[in-house]
Structure formats: C-alpha cells, structure tokens
Amino acid sequence: MKAAVQEWAVDYLWQWTNQRFGLCSEIVRPCRQTCIGSGPWAFPWDQSFPFFSLGCGRCGDSCSCQYVEQVKLPGIVSEPLEVLIDDEAVDLSAFRVDDWTILVRQDGGRFPTCQNLGLPLGEDGTWGIEYLQGEPVPPGGELMAGLLAQEFAKSVCGDDSCRLPRRVSSIQRQGVVIGILDNFTGLKEGLTGIFEIDAWIMSQTKPRRRAVVRSPDVPVPRITTWSYADS
C-alpha cells in the first residue's frame, strides 16, 4: 500500500500544480527549420527519398542559411543528456541552453542541416538529441508529497489522527441531523485543509511577480538557463 499512496499523492500534487513539474527524457531528431522567403533547395519527405531537408531563405535569429549552430527544442529543456551525430556522442561541454528551449553549440562546431530519417538513430547520416524535458520539482515538493501520502494512508486505514478534513458536514435543525457531502470545490484547487500542503501549492500556482515595463522597440535579451559548468 505504501507505493500506491505515494503514487496517489504525487499525482494529486501534479494535478494541483497544473501538471507543471516533473522531468521526463525525450529524444528528438531535428531537421532545419523553414524560414521566411524562398530557399535555394527544398526536398519534401516521402518514402522514395528518405532525406528531409527544408530550404532556407531570409534568416533571422532562428536559423542560418549556411550552417546551423542552434536548435529550438519542444518543451522546456531542463538539461541535455546526449547529442549523438552519426555514431559519435558530442561532449556536452560544447553546448548551452538559452531561454529554456534553444540548444546552442558554442565550440565552433555545427549541427547537421538534414538527416536520413529512414535509419535508426546512431547510424551514419543520422543525429538526435536526448534531454530532460520539464521543470524540476521545486523545494518542498517531495516533502509535501510524503506528507500527503502519509495522510492518505491514515485515511484508508481509518486512523483518527488523519488531518484530511471529512467531506461530510452535519447540520442539525429542529432535532434532525442531516449529513451534507460537499462538492469538492476546494479539493479541485488543491485545498486539502492541511496548512503546509495548501501553502506550498498556493506558492507554486500563484507566485508573486515583479512588475516589468518593456518596450516593443527593444529586443528581449537571451538568458542562458543551462551550461555545462553548472551541471
């Protein structure tokens, strides 16, 4: 039962924090992104020609017509795990991550502009990126999951020391006692009735934000969100 209530508690906290936190491993096999304008070459994907390459016209910050030194990955990139080109793993010190989504090669090397998608990853003419996608659980999350699992276990076992509120309220009118089951409105929002858990959930779902004034004429600078030195 221990594993079951732990999984139960983790799932509830994940739902209450808008399915935001938690890491999973993803493997992607990118090809060059299409840019605005007409490119010198473009080959559509079909079974008879297993290369998938997109032409590149006028390029801005998102790609390059001559070479590719950065790749925008789906989701939030918490940490790259492996960059495999052909059958060789490139040392991770060659990369950094900007704005949680852009993998930048900073060793002077280049990413391939296309690949043979008809071959498995690791073969000549292929390349791919494995990374941890998502946001790590913030401080206190594991502690709150343990606390909630403990209260779930007490509730299942009928332990009177359980701190979870009973979902039935009793109302007495003219000597008649009526039991009313609430509609779980607070529970849907993550209000368990346990101060520590509710306070942590509210701190993650309704964080304080500083006021920021931005001008549309001033480009937003990039922020490096991962580097090999910090890993």
List the pLDDT tens digit at each of the 231 positions of the chain.
889 999 999 998 998 898 889 999 999 988 765 444 444 433 333 444 444 333 343 344 444 445 578 888 989 999 999 999 999 999 999 999 999 999 999 999 988 877 887 889 999 989 999 999 999 999 999 999 999 999 999 988 988 898 887 665 555 555 654 444 455 556 666 678 889 999 999 999 876 665 566 667 777 788 999 999 987
Residue 155 lies in a domain: no
**Is this model's pTM higher than 0.95 or not?**
no
The number of domains in the chain is 1
Residue 84 lies in a domain: yes
30 contacts 111 by C-beta, under 8 angstroms: yes
Residue 141 lies in a domain: no
Residue 45 lies in a domain: yes
Round to whole Å and give the CA distance between 28 and 73: 8
Round to whole Å and give the CA distance between 158 and 48: 65
Residue 38 is part of which domain span? 22-136
Residue 196 lies in a domain: no
Residue 67 lies in a domain: yes
**Residue with structure tokens 């490139």?**
90
Task: Report the 10 Å Cβ neighbour count for 30.
Answer: 19
Mapped onto helix, strand or coil, the DSSP state of residue 157 is helix
Residue 116 lies in a domain: yes
> Can you spell out the DSSP letters for 88-146?
EEEPGGGEEEETTTEEEE-SS--B-S-EETTS-TTSTT-EEEEEEESBPPPTTHHHHHH
Residue 195 lies in a domain: no
Residue type at 102?
A: I
Q: What is the dihedral of CA 100, 102, 103, 108, to 10 degrees?
A: -130
